[in-house]
Amino acid sequence: MSRHFAVFGTPIAHSLSPRIHAAFARQTGIALDYVAIEAGHDDFAMHLAAFADNGGHGANVTLPLKESAFALCSNTSERALRAGAVNTLLRDGDGWRGDNTDGAGLLRDLTQRNGLDLRGRRTLMLGAGGAARGIAPTLLDAGIDALYIVNRTAQNADALADLLGDPKRVHARYLDDLPALGEFDLIVNATSATRGGELPHLPMSMVGRRTAAVDLSYGEAAIPFLAWARANRCHDAIDGLGMLVEQAAGSFEVWHGVRPDTDLVYADLRAHTDSLVTAD
């Protein structure tokens, strides 16, 4: 009998998660169905409750609901607790257990697929929402030298810096500070602003000889930031497609106890998304 899974977020029609989990299911021989459910802050709790009432076993959560999902959990994993955000839900009795596979997914993609050594990198993260919260603890654990968090809303950057609890390495700054911050070895775009085609002014002075620029988005949403990175001669320009596949594999493992192979799934999605961008 198939178990029921879903991904919640808005906008959600573009989500590749149903395609990814269908591929994992074929690979592992696990029977499941997986659908995308449109939900915003105001109606997420209602949609999640309806999903549970209809036999929902597990779910992914994407923008902008990761912090809301954390608040709805009856218990969480240690990595979700550190992040204060959840991207993976597992039915646990009458409630939900929350986990966060974003950081582990990003780390696998950057270090194993793209061959980056994150140790000692002076790092800038644009954004302080659920996506940023999911990856920040992992970046610190991976040995980055310092993490500067820049966000349009200053108090959100301050709140994330406080949550991480590492004042020697973590620093909250504001957009107006960017020209004075110097070079970074790693720049991560964890904001959703570019989904609307908006990109804050990013000075060329932030780019050094080994700077890697990483966007957590993929497809059209990643184009503005990656175009900036290439124009300013960043050593690496990486989108979030690999992270998407790896965090999905992490969720699949939480739900089913088996980790699927990601290489073929990633290759299929890379060809698919590249063809869509080229067609546009």
| Residue positions annotated with a catalytic role | 66
* 240 annotated ligand-binding residue: yes
C-alpha closest to that of 236 among 130, 112, 88, 116: 116
131 assigned ligand-binding residue:
yes
Inter-residue long-range contacts of 73-79, CB under 8 Å, 24+ positions, other chains counted? 73/97, 73/98, 79/103, 79/104, 79/137, 79/138
- Please state, as a whole number, how many other Cβ atoms lie within 10 Å of the Cβ of residue 43: 13
Residue 78, annotated ligand binder? yes
127 annotated to a ligand binding site: yes
* Euclidean distance between CA atoms 4 and 233, whole angstroms: 45
* 129 labelled binding-site residue: yes
Q: Is 74 annotated as a binding residue?
A: no
Q: Is 17 annotated as a binding residue?
A: yes
Q: Is the peptide bond before 179 cis (omega within 30 degrees of 0)?
A: no
Which residues, in sequence order, are bridge partners of residue 38? Answer: 9
Residue 138 annotated in ligand binding? no
Conformation bin of residue 55: beta by default, left when phi > 0, alpha when psi is -120 to 50: left
218 marked as binding residue? yes
d(CA 26, CA 22) in angstroms, rounded, equals 6
3 state DSSP class of 93? coil
**Alpha-carbon span 30 to 26, nearest angstrom:** 7
Tell whether 278 is in a known binding site: no
- Provide the token pair at 218: 């993929």
Q: Is 15 annotated as a binding residue?
A: yes
**16 in a known ligand binding site:** yes
Q: Give binding residues for NADP(+) as ranges.
A: 78, 127-131, 216, 240
Q: Give binding residues for shikimate as ranges.
A: 15-17, 62, 87, 102, 218, 247
Q: Give binding residues as ranges.
A: 15-17, 62, 78, 87, 102, 127-131, 216, 218, 240, 247
